[in-house]
Structures are given as structure tokens and as C-alpha cells.
Amino acid sequence: MDVDVAVEALIPYPREVVASYAGGPGNAPQWYADIVSVHWQTPPPVAVGSRMEFEARFLGRRR
């Protein structure tokens, strides 16, 4: 049996503002439910060669 799920949300801000916020790895724990923290391996901001580690909780486990 197949199940299709669609979710839609209206965000009342310009695309550029939303993209800038959502594209910033440091903001991930505030909007991505499974991300607990972000640890930069290189200095922010994001640039070519940037490295970071995301700590996530999924199905009760931290990864």
C-alpha cells in the first residue's frame, strides 16, 4: 500500500529572507525538528570548503 503525504505552509516573508535563514546551517536546530545542534569544524560563515557537523535525534537516537 502506498501512502502520499503533502504538507504546505505559508511563510509571510520574502523568499530571499526565508532562503537566507533556512540556508544558514547555524539556524537548523531552530527549524529542523531532528537537528539538535551544529558544530562548525571551520570558521563560519559558509564558504567553499566549509565543514560542520550536525547532531541529530531520530527515532530516539542521537547521531
- Residue 2 within a domain: no
Q: Count up the domains in the chain and report the number.
A: 1
pLDDT (0 to 100) of residue 1: 86
Per-residue pLDDT tens digits for 6-49: 999 899 999 999 999 999 999 999 999 999 999 999 999 999 99
In this structure, is residue 22 part of a structural domain? Answer: yes
Does residue 60 surpass a pLDDT of 80? Answer: no
> Is 43 inside a domain boundary?
yes
Q: What's this model's pTM, rounded to 2 decimal places?
A: 0.69
DSSP 29-45: HHH-TTEEEEEESS-SS
Domain containing 53 equals 15-62
CA distance 14 to 18: 7
Q: For residue 8, is it within any domain?
A: no
Sign, Cα dihedral of 53, 54, 55, 59: negative
Opening angle at CA 18, ends 13 and 20, nearest 5? 135
